[in-house]
Structure 1
Amino acid sequence: MSMYTDLVLSQQTYFSTGHTRPVKERKKQLMALRQAISDNEEAILEALHGDLHKSHSEAFMTEIGYLYKEIDFTLKHLKKWCEPKSLDSRPLLPGGKGTIYPQPYGSVLILAPWNYPFQLAIAPLIGAIAAGNCAVVKPSEMTPRTSHLLHWLLTRTFPESYVAVVQGDVHTAEALLEAPFDYLFFTGSPAIGKKVMAAAAKQLIPHTLELGGKSPAIVHKDADMKKTADRIAWGKVLNAGQTCVAPDYIMVHEDVYTSLLDALKQSFQKQMKHIDKEGFEYPKLVHDKHFDRMVSFLDEGTIAFGGEHDRSRRFFAPTILTNLPSNARIMEEEIFGPILPVLQYRSFTQVKAQVNKHPNPLAAYLFTETASLQKEFIHDISFGGGCINDTILHLTSPELPFGGIGSSGTGQYHGKYSFDTFSHYKSIVKQSTRFEVPGRYKRGPRMLKMIKKLF
């Protein structure tokens, strides 16, 4: 038995009272969460700066503003989402009516990562509350200031029997995974995702895994080089590349290879030009081990731009790597940092072969005006989601589902898709008792003929 079994059972007892289910109550709690975030914006920003050196503008855009948008969208549509859905089509036998009822699971576990430690803890919680569940949130120990702040903020806002926060390291996460939750939601690496999935399988607990992968940026020869470079550089500079959907590497058509490299250098210089001026903060790498991993990649190719780093500050500048050997380790692992390898291609067949060496990236980006290539990109490459002629933006709208496929994850969330993730859709057929279908309980050839007429 897990040391957290009692916590889960207390939440399941609270859930059984029905208190979390009325739409009015769900809205009340979402508004309380929004107010708690709003009242403590400065403390959240300071915690994120302390853990990851994020500027207040970047932290607000990626960790707070998005949550306001998500909560507001959910509040606007929640009543409709919660309504039972009556079917137009009839069940097999006359007199019946089919209805689908969205119902909460009970007590859900949310395991949050370190790279967006506030947003990726709260975003799934919004969906869990909206669907009528209780929740336990486990923040990352790699970002202790944000983890402590999450504990302080959520315990002041909600009773533990409704929303609880458990802090701790990997052993804490393992103990939580042994508890009898009704649903698991994990964001992190594929390696840890496998362990979460195995733990869920032991208890047959339904789950969502938001993982990662090597997300390519593909640049065709007809792309606008300046806009392409600016948008790829922006996606890579964000959080110092520690973003699950950051462009992991570039494949550029050989005809515009040099043009893109020149444009990328200018874009990185432009986006980093205030680095030594007062008020500019560029995120640092999360810990020394991750920093050392980035340094180890530098010898695998030619540094075409950047490469500066300082271990005392865990500062690592945006870096372009070229001339990579075919067996380069950096092309086998998700980088999750500010290094950007650039490869060349001659045909789109080469692109598909390279991307498919690492199946199912979480994101993919294509820069071209050619409609046939856009269609080929969408239909012939398997990835979670992405953009054409931009990066990152596909995860910013609550109207678009976000999630991976295969090795990059299972399940989706954001907006209505979060509500769906944390809801079980219960199908009910209500059958009339005013009459009985003739011959329903008979057997034999005559009944077989009647049955065939129903299909």
Structure 2
Amino acid sequence: NGILSSGDFIFYLLILPSITSCRMSREQKAVECARKAFLTGRSKPLEHRIRQLKNLQRFLLEREKEIAEAIKKDLNKSEAGTQLYETLGLEGEIVLAVKKLAEWVAPRPVEKNLLTISDTVYIQPEPLGVVLIIGAWNYPWAVTIQPLIGAIAAGNAAVVKPSEVCVHTAKVMEDLLPAYIDKELYPVVTGGVSETQELLRQRFDHVFYTGNSMVGKLVMEAAAKHLTPITLELGGKSPCYIDKNCDIPIACRRVTWGKYSNCGQTCIAPDYILCEPSIQDRVLEEIKKSIKAFYTEDPKTCPDYGRIINQRHFKRIMAMTEDSTIAIGGDSDESTCYIAPTVLKDVQVNSKVMQEEIFGPLLPILTVSGVDEAINFINKGEKPLALYIFSPDDKVIKKVIAETSSGGVLANDCLVHYSVSALPFGGVGNSGMGSYHGKFSFDNLSHLRGCLIKQLKMEGVNDMRYPPHTAKKLFWARFFILKNPDLGWLGRMTLLAIIAVVAAVVLQVRGKEETFLISTVRKRLQWRCILFEVEL
């Protein structure tokens, strides 16, 4: 996830010519293979899904060393950091899916109304088909394999496209993943922009893209040609409001961790701080202390501090510092793509650092008069992927939640809402569409099929819908459609008996007798409703 995800995707996608070939491309073969495998039906049985998920978990455990070495080469992440931020969460998702999958795939009963009281009504989750998963480079395992877990759990086939920017990680996925999970159902396609272009020309049943909003629009445009539904996990400038009455040292420690993890290359990292002028110096002081505590006096030598993914992004990030004052950090080394944890002050709305998502270790501080001005500032921009509030006052927290919009919101901490499988993770507006994690992944990559099973009996009840249409039929239609009392088991049994009486009456009564008998049934129905204390 992040700026120009999947390599320099947006740059090349706009300038490279379309690549056509009279022969079937590698990407077409992968999609066709996945489609054929899906049509065999072998991805659907519960046992197969669970077996594939357990094999995926075994892969993460057995290939822990290869995974860590690849990410060390790509992003300079430590082995412990790789497990903490990449694979541990994946293992948790797999354990949850295996435990809950039988419950998730089961038919889901729904509330009945008077017209369906004697019918079988339920929702049946079913696989969508073949899913395309386009991963990102900043957390190449977490944001690529987590959608795959959902796709497997939902019974789909999936074509996995890891980011080519993380060359070593993509190679590990391509070489080792097919040895653990069904390589026909879940092929891995590596390559750059041309390969991604070719994949997007194919027809899928769902496209799951993690990246930035500019490329997201191109993915959405490509998917629209086939009317393919999509999930876009994008980013944006996630604000962080610090209330003057909160515990500032704790707040700044948590913000520092959230901002500088993975060298700031996190889609939900705090993008900028909003606080009152009276606490700005204190905030700067506490962030400086936290940087030293986390990354030592020299973060460049700290094994837990990462690097910018490439020199193009290095130059982009450094250019953002030009019209602001560096309050903390600022050191850099282009040859190793190192930028120190940096805090900027004297930042204005029109400063370069405020014009796009930073996606790097720069943290601007802007001053506001209070929570109302902070809310107004946030609402003037695009809806962010995350919004952070630090305050001991529940009223302040609830006010910010009520008066803003964001993909997710977290009070008094950073990032950790991503790890809660019971919460949907996703954006809104410019920060994305669709959500995943836990059961939300399963539902997002399933078709929730509505099912109604009736019997060829009690045809008299249907008389109200058949021509000729009369006032009396409309009366009964209004009753059955608009009245929906909650009667409990005994009430439902009574209503079933009443419906049977109505059906018999409607079948037998014609002409002048109809008015009298319908009136009689209606009176009896009123009496029953009074007995069970419901309104007719």
| Mean CA deviation greater in 442-451 or 223-232 | 442-451
| Structure 2: runs of 5+ lacking an equivalent | 1-19, 483-536
Aligned-residue offset at 1:354:
1.4
Aligned equivalents of 2:413, 2:183: Cα separation in 1:
42
Q: Is the 8 A contact 2:77 2:303 kept in 1?
A: no
Give the 5 Å matches for 1:219-230: 219-230=242-253
TM normalised by structure 1 equals: 0.97
Q: Tell me if structure 2 keeps the 8 A contact 1:84–1:99.
A: yes
Partner SS for 2:187: strand
Q: Shift of residue 278 of structure 1? A: 7.2
Instruction: Give me the TM-score of the superposition, normalised by structure 2.
Output: 0.82
Tell which structure's C-alpha radius of gyration is larger: 2
Q: Does structure 1 residue 447 correspond to structure 2 residue 470?
A: no
In structure 2, the partner of 1:264 is 287
> Which residue identity is paired with 1:313?
T
Q: What residue is the counterpart of 2:387 in the other structure?
A: 364
- The answer as to 2:91 corresponding to 1:68 is yes
Which one of the candidate residues 346, 350, 353 is aligned to 1:327?
350
Q: Which consecutive residues of structure 1, in runs of 5 or more, have no partner in the other structure?
A: none
1:421 has 2:447 as partner: no
- Give the distance between the partners of 1:159 and 1:375, measured in 2 at CA: 47
Same amino acid, percent of matched pairs: 38
Segment of structure 1 superposing worse, 421-430 or 81-90 = 81-90
Shift of 1:276: 6.5
SS in 1 for 2:138: coil
Q: Render the CA deviation track for 1:90-110: whole Å, top value 9, x for unaligned.
A: 373553221110001111000
Q: What is the CA-CA distance between 1:156 and the residue it aligns to?
A: 1.4
Separation in 2 of the partners of 1:245 and 1:232?
Answer: 12
Distance across 1 between alignment mates of 2:302 and 2:335: 20
Task: Give the C-alpha shift of residue 88 in structure 1.
Answer: 3.2
Aligned match of 1:160: 183
AA aligned to 1:416 is K
Q: Who is 1:42 aligned against? A: 65
Residues 260, 281 of structure 1: CA spacing in aligned structure 2 closer, same or farther, 3 A cutoff?
closer
1:123 matched to 2:149: no
- Report if aligned partners of 2:263, 2:360 keep a CA contact under 8 Å in 1: yes
Report the AA paired with residue 450 of structure 1.
W
Which of 269-278 and 13-22 deviates more?
A: 269-278
Corresponding residue for residue 232 of structure 1: 255
1:138: how far off?
0.4
Matched, 1:97 2:133: no
2:438 pairs with 1:431:
no
**Are the aligned partners of 1:20 and 1:26 in contact in 2 as well (CA < 8 Å)?**
yes
Q: Please say which of residues 442-451 and 71-80 is displaced more in the overlay.
A: 442-451
Shift of 1:411: 0.6
DSSP 3-state at the match of 2:448: strand
**Alignment equivalent of 1:407, drawn from 419, 430, 434:** 430
CA contact (8 A) 2:265 2:361 kept: yes
For 1:82, which of 79, 99, 105 is the aligned residue? Answer: 105
- Structure 1: which amino acid aligns with 2:479? K
Select the residue among 288, 295, 299 that pairs with 2:322.
Answer: 299
**1:359–1:382 Cα contact (<8 Å) kept:** no
Secondary structure of the residue aligned to 1:165 is coil
SS class of match (1:366): strand
Cα drift, residue 37 of structure 1: 1.1
- Post-superposition Cα deviations, 1:188-216, rounded to whole Å, max 9, x if no partner, equal 01110011111111110011000000001
Q: CA RMSD in A?
A: 1.6
User: Which runs of structure 2 are paired with 1:340-379 in the superposition (5 Å)?
Assistant: 340-379=363-402
Q: Displacement, 1:298?
A: 1.6
1:13 Cα offset (Å) = 2.0
Would the aligned equivalents of 1:222 and 1:368 in 2 still touch at CA under 8 Å? yes
C-alpha separation in 1, matches of 2:456 and 2:375 = 59
Secondary structure of 1:312's counterpart equals helix
Over 3 Å counting, the alpha-carbon distance change for 1:80 and 1:218 in structure 2 is: same
Residue 8 (str. 1) matches residue 34 (str. 2) = no
What amino acid maps onto 1:25 in structure 2? H
What SS is found at the alignment partner of 1:88? coil
Cα distance, 1:327–1:411 mapped onto 2, change above 3 Å? same
Whether the 8 Å contact between 2:242 and 2:273 is mirrored in structure 1 is yes
Instruction: Indicate conservation of the 8 Å contact 1:86/1:100, yes or no.
Output: yes
Structure 2 matches for 1:384-395, cutoff 5 A? Answer: 384-395=407-418
Aligned to 1:340, the other structure's residue is in SS state strand
Aligned-residue offset at 1:251: 0.3
Q: Quick check: 1:27 aligned with 2:50? A: yes
The residue matched to 1:298 in structure 2 has which SS? coil
- How many Å separate the matches in 2 of 1:279 and 1:220? 31
